[in-house]
Amino acid sequence: MEDKNPLMQLAYDYLESTNTVVFLTGKAGTGKTTFLQNLRKTSGKKLAVVAPTGVAAINAGGMTIHSFFQLSFAPVIPSGDEQPEAHYNPEKKELLANLELLIIDEISMVRPDVLDQIDLILRNVKGNKHPFGGVQLLLIGDLSQLSPIIKDDEWNILRPYYQTPYFFSSHVMQRANYVRIELNHVFRQKEQAFVDILNEVRNQQISPDSLALLNERYIPNFRPNENDPYITLTTHNSIAQTVNDEMLNNLQGTEIEFKATVRGDFPRDAYPTETTLKLKAGAQVMFVKNDSSAEKLYYNGKIGRVSLINEGTVYVDCGDKREIAVEAVEWTNIKYQMDGEDINESNSGSFAQVPLKLAWAITIHKSQGLTFEKAIIDVSESFAHGQAYVALSRCRSLPGMVLRNPVSARNIIGDPAVARFNRQAEALLPNADRLSHDQQRYSQFLLSELFNFEQLKDKLKGFAYLLPELPKDVFEVAEKFNRQLNPARSTQAAKYFRDKLTQAVEQAHRQLPTIVAQSKEKAGKADQLIIWLMNRVKLMEYFSANEFSTMAYLDAIKNKINNYEGSYLKALNALPNEKLYEQLLTWRDKVASKEQVMPNMVLTEKALATIAEKLPATLKTLSGIKGVGPHKVNSYGADIIMLIRNYEQGDTAEQVSLF
């Protein structure tokens, strides 16, 4: 598709040859999701995909922003360079330290303080002062669609620091180098008349003729046939509930009621589901909460049908390998308030209920990112920016749409802040000259990364006595070089640092046996320090003999370093069944490449090492290993058990089929 679409090709070129932040926008149905899917398959960068809600994350094939970065949902006042509060385990730190491209889908729904938190975390983990620590961001979304969900008490906290609740008001976006690329070819809708209507609704300037044509789809008292796959999109939960109640009443069987327990202050408009939830076998339902258990069997927005109700348990069939047993869970109502310079969080109430709701109809908010062949739409009570446009643009065609009530001009609501940003952002559309300039900026950034030793400072904590010369011989010299970056001087600089780091490795190696005798944990950290030094020596060795360029650096990173095997502790304490462990690593990397995720998202090295040590013989035993669990056993268990059996039999011939 990129070859046929110049704007998509331009976006792809930016993402492959720069680290400039790219805001990819466009009307609904212009191929933003398709571009994301293609990029995941073809990008040479280490990437992760996140989104602001569980449904959006599942649709994008990623994780929620808050889960990936372990963020609180509370508003956060920007704090400059202050260290983030999140404490990551070594696996998460490694993942973030290696991240090159972060894709955020549905960016229109992301608050500015969330983007500033991501910037702060990445700068600290990467040890780099550039916006987002030098990680490139691809921001995908349409500001004409749904805006961030932010409560009044949250906005009262953030208002003094941000001009608007949108991502573009974040502090990091004020100083980041970014471009805005707007896709303009509509793929979802083929009828030009319908495309024109959607464009006018998006721009909040619908003509009388277009409004009249749209309202021809108003069919009073429309009732679809039982087998006709219409879904109803509404602005309010109460309207969706009416539709769902009607469909439930049409089902045969006994109706079972589940009563919610409400304590303290929990506003009615914040109820996640009904206080009296009525269900029958055969009812179409949606989960309204993420599964907090280790199994993660469901997420907010997952659809299924009730197969059985047994006392207080509802069994839901989602088309997976097994039914999900669902029982009541609790939500809490959190309030935020300023206390001097701090934000206090308090629990003012709770709501307990089975985390399900009927799902023949859903709210427009839940429909973002989806496409429907047939939909019944009601935007007569639109109350927020972008609602009408999101609802109408979910449909592929006018004939597939039925309006429950006529649409009027007042239902089409826009936000002046978005219109103002869009006008200003027109100057950010890049061209070939801008791309060339940003490619040069990227080259300069990579040159600075070559001589960036901030991560070494972090690894040196607790071991400064081992290498007392590093601050003067390495850190101070690197800072001076980075203040006056010059590719012509990179070869000589690389030779200098190669020699200094080689000396450091030799000094550390001499001390390592003593550290091993003192503390196994400390010895492990010292070993990681030496491995980091050795990899950097290899990189400096390469650029001592080769001129610096963007391609040379990326090639060196990918193929010539980060594969040092000479670990002192590894030789001292070899892993049990190390050959199997290496086979598991190879298998994991193949799976990660196929699924377009980072390897640790499949299984961590620690989990693989435990598998290699314990040699589980059954799926049940494998499931009990920490870091595996039932969900990953369902996905990968058969392959892992086969690898173990082949290893135990000494048969490697069949292993090739797994790879």
Q: Is the model's pLDDT at 166 over the cut of 90?
A: yes
pLDDT winner (highest mean) among 527-531, 586-590, 595-599: 586-590
Q: What average pLDDT does the segment 190-207 reach?
A: 83
Report which DSSP code applies to 125: H
Amino acid at 227: N
Q: Is-contact 167 173, C-beta < 8 A? A: yes
Cα distance between residue 378 and residue 375, in whole Å: 10
- Which tens digit of pLDDT belongs to each residue from 427-452? 778 988 999 999 999 999 999 999 99
Percent of the chain with pLDDT over 90: 31
Helical ranges in 149-280 per DSSP H: 152-158, 171-175, 192-202, 208-215, 237-249
Cα distance between residue 7 and residue 422, in whole Å: 17
Q: What average pLDDT does the segment 415-423 reach?
A: 84
Q: Is the model's pLDDT at 2 over the cut of 60?
A: no
- Mean pLDDT rounded to a whole number for the chain: 83
- Which tens digit of pLDDT belongs to each residue from 629-648? 877 888 888 899 989 988 88
- Which tens digit of pLDDT belongs to each residue from 511-568? 877 877 777 777 778 888 888 888 899 999 999 999 999 998 988 887 655 544 444 4
Report residue 313 as tokens.
Answer: 């348990």
pLDDT at 338: 40
Q: What average pLDDT does the segment 334-349 reach?
A: 52
Q: Is the model's pLDDT at 378 over the cut of 90?
A: no
Amino acid at 615: L
> Domain spanning 6-187 has what CATH number?
3.40.50.300
Cα distance between residue 592 and residue 598, in whole Å: 6
Q: Is-contact 219 228, C-beta < 8 A? A: no
Q: Is-contact 184 26, C-beta < 8 A? A: yes
> Domain spanning 578-651 has what CATH number?
1.10.150.80
Strands 21-26 and 178-183: parallel
Amino acid at 642: M
Strands (E), 460-516: none
Where are the CATH 3.40.50.300 domain residues in the chain?
6-187
- Backbone Cα Rg of the chain: 28
Q: Is the model's pLDDT at 110 over the cut of 90?
A: yes
DSSP assignment of 175-196, as one string? HS-EEEEEE----S---HHHHH
Q: What average pLDDT does the segment 171-175 reach?
A: 95
pLDDT at 369: 63
Q: What average pLDDT does the segment 164-193 reach?
A: 86
Give the pLDDT band of residue 341 (cuts 50, 70, 90): very low
- What are the Cα distances from residue 571, in Å, to 168, 366, 610, 613? 51, 54, 18, 17
Dihedral of CA atoms 233, 238, 239, 245 in degrees, nearest 10, equals 100
Q: Is the model's pLDDT at 343 over the cut of 50?
A: no
Report residue 186 as tokens.
Answer: 């509509």
pLDDT at 140: 95
pLDDT at 261: 93
Where are the CATH 1.10.150.80 domain residues in the chain?
578-651
Q: What average pLDDT does the segment 595-621 reach?
A: 82
pTM metric for this prediction: 0.70
- Which tens digit of pLDDT belongs to each residue from 64-84? 788 788 888 889 888 766 665
pLDDT at 122: 94
Percent of the chain with pLDDT over 70: 88
Give φ, ψ of 468 to 5 degrees.
-65, -20
